[in-house]
Amino acid sequence: MNENLYAEYPEVYDALYADKDYEAEVQFVVSRFEEATGREIDPPEGAHENPNPNANASANENVNANDNPTTDSDAPSALIVGCGTGEHATRLRERGFEVVGVDKYRAMVERARGKSDAEFRVGALPDLPDLSAFTADGSFDLVWLPFTVIQHLRPDQIADSFHALGDRLADGGVLVFDQIASDGGHDPHLWTYPTEEGTYARLTQIHEVGDAEHRYDALVFTPDGEFFADTHLLTDYEPEYLAGVCDALGLSVELHGWYDPDAESGADGHVVFVAS
Ligand SMILES: C[S@@+](CC[C@H](N)C(=O)[O-])C[C@H]1O[C@@H](n2cnc3c(N)ncnc32)[C@H](O)[C@@H]1O
């Protein structure tokens, strides 16, 4: 699988998803977190103006977490798995969460490090790296897999992945994940993304390749004349199956529409799972 967008071009990922409403996604999750835990979360004080002073310290993979410790022991803690370029991490930091982001691809993690002082590690489900140094007991109040991360897992990875996630979830904590519905495939489609630097373009084709698996193929063009191929295999899981996996972990699940308290769950096939 050639996941070039994640592996090599995280800055292009950000350009393609510049209009994604990260703020609404974070606010939705924080509201669910407040409801489930009874904790009150401070609103953000404003835009994150000072990026991480260690932004270029990409080699800090092996830095002991205690060298750059999380500081406020009363602060809620969040683990973001499949954190990508760090947009959710930045916004949770602005709301006072201590945040650790994990992503399969080093390039995504390095880009995320330039945006906030959250901690980031490279790691991939079904395993997770050792995160025990970041919180008192190694668990997190919020564990979130934003934007189809679950669908990047193959069916034989689901059980082990949820065990790993459950192990990192604090008692009384909240686990959030989501999935989008594929419409079963489509003819090639050209998407364009005008930006100040010029227009990015993505020519996509979706194929059904298995019972519930879809291959998302794309050719991506950047304004500076580069282009590359990018492929992702995503699985559509039955919501009842994923709810059952959570149930086996002792978590009860609410199904929501797409990161909007007013969106009806299942209306467009996009689902956000909130388990606690
Ligand atoms: C669609 S992107 C979402 C990124 C980010 N959460 C966002 O909303 O912009 C999916 C992310 O999941 C990561 N990912 C894919 N498989 C993973 C795995 N097995 N473990 C951890 N991260 C994974 C990818 O590298 C990518 O950053």
pLDDT tens for 71-93 read 567 899 999 999 999 999 999 99
Which tops the pLDDT comparison, 67 or 242?
242
Span 198-206, mean pLDDT?
Answer: 96
| Residue having the nearest C-alpha atom to atom 21 of ligand 1 | 124
For 45-69, what is each residue's pLDDT tens digit? 764 444 454 443 333 343 334 344 4
The predicted structure's pLDDT at residue 85: 98
253 and 190 in a common domain: no
Which tops the pLDDT comparison, 112 or 60?
112
Q: Is the CB of 234 under 6 A from ligand 1?
A: no
Span 5-32, mean pLDDT?
Answer: 98
Return the best residue to mutate from 16, 104, 235 for the ligand 1 pocket (most ligand atoms within 8 A of CB): 104
The predicted structure's pLDDT at residue 205: 94
Q: Is the CB of 108 under 6 A from ligand 1?
A: yes
Return the best residue to mutate from 149, 231, 270 for the ligand 1 pocket (most ligand atoms within 8 A of CB): 149
Closest approach atom of ligand 1 to CA 13: 9
Task: Kindly give the distance from the C-alpha atom of residue 275 to the centroid of ligand 1, in angstroms, as a whole number.
Answer: 20
The predicted structure's pLDDT at residue 72: 66
The predicted structure's pLDDT at residue 134: 95
31 and 168 in a common domain: yes
257 and 152 in a common domain: yes
Query: Is the confidence at residue 249, as pLDDT, over 50?
Result: yes
Return the best residue to mutate from 6, 99, 115, 158 for the ligand 1 pocket (most ligand atoms within 8 A of CB): 6
- Read off the CATH number of the domain in which 119 is found: 3.40.50.150
216 and 266 in a common domain: no
Query: Is the confidence at residue 268, as pLDDT, over 90?
Result: no
101 and 200 in a common domain: no
Query: Is the confidence at residue 97, as pLDDT, over 60?
Result: yes
Q: Is the CB of 97 under 6 A from ligand 1?
A: no
Q: Is the CB of 149 under 6 A from ligand 1?
A: yes
105 and 38 in a common domain: yes
Query: Is the confidence at residue 6, as pLDDT, over 70?
Result: yes
Q: Is the CB of 125 under 6 A from ligand 1?
A: yes
Count up the domains in the chain and report the number: 2
The predicted structure's pLDDT at residue 184: 65
Pairing assessment for the beta strands 271-275 and 140-145 based on DSSP bridges: unpaired
CA distance 241 to 27: 27
**218 dihedral zone (left: phi>0; alpha: psi -120 to 50; beta):** beta
269 confidence band (pLDDT: 50, 70, 90)? confident
The predicted structure's pLDDT at residue 53: 43
* Full-model pTM: 0.91
211 and 155 in a common domain: no
190 and 107 in a common domain: no
Lowest mean pLDDT, pick from 25-39, 75-89, 175-189: 175-189
CA distance 233 to 217: 9
Domain residues for the domain of 215 are 186-233
| Residue having the nearest C-alpha atom to atom 27 of ligand 1 | 84
The predicted structure's pLDDT at residue 171: 97
| Residue having the nearest C-alpha atom to atom 11 of ligand 1 | 82
- Evaluate whether 7 touches 107 at the Cβ level (below 8 Å): yes
Span 189-194, mean pLDDT?
Answer: 96
Task: Kindly give the distance from the C-alpha atom of residue 124 to the centroid of ligand 1, in angstroms, as a whole number.
Answer: 9
Query: Is the confidence at residue 252, as pLDDT, over 60?
Result: yes
Closest approach atom of ligand 1 to CA 161: 19
Q: Is the CB of 152 under 6 A from ligand 1?
A: yes
Query: Which of 202, 218, 233 is at the close of a domain?
Result: 233
181 confidence band (pLDDT: 50, 70, 90)? confident
Report CA dihedral (90, 95, 97, 102) to the nearest 10 degrees. Answer: -20
62 and 23 in a common domain: yes
CA distance 119 to 100: 5
182 confidence band (pLDDT: 50, 70, 90)? confident
139 confidence band (pLDDT: 50, 70, 90)? very high
Q: Is the CB of 99 under 6 A from ligand 1?
A: no
| Residue having the nearest C-alpha atom to atom 18 of ligand 1 | 124
| Residue having the nearest C-alpha atom to atom 12 of ligand 1 | 82
199 and 102 in a common domain: no
Average pLDDT of the residues of the chain: 90
Q: Is the CB of 270 under 6 A from ligand 1?
A: no
173 and 191 in a common domain: no
Lowest mean pLDDT, pick from 41-45, 183-187, 212-216: 183-187
CA distance 79 to 190: 35
228 and 168 in a common domain: no
